[in-house]
Amino acid sequence: MKGFTRNPNSGVDPLRAGTYAGLVEKIPYLKDLGITVVELMPIFQRDPQEGDYWGYVPLNFFAPHAQYASTRDDDEQHLEFRNMVKAFYQAGIGVVLDVVYNHTCEGDHRGPI
Question: Which segments of 1-113 does DSSP mark as H helices, in order?
Answer: 2-6, 20-25, 27-33, 77-90
CATH number at residue 88: 3.30.750.90
In this prediction, residue 111 has a pLDDT band, given cuts at 50, 70 and 90, of: low
Mean pLDDT on 45-66? 79
pLDDT digits (tens, 9 = 90+) for 7-44: 888 999 999 999 999 999 999 999 999 999 999 988 88
pTM (two decimals): 0.85
Tally of domains within the chain = 1
Asked whether residue 113 carries a pLDDT value surpassing 60, the answer given is: no
Domain that holds residue 49: 2-112
Asked whether residue 1 carries a pLDDT value surpassing 70, the answer given is: no
User: What pLDDT, on the 0 to 100 scale, is given for residue 82?
Assistant: 94
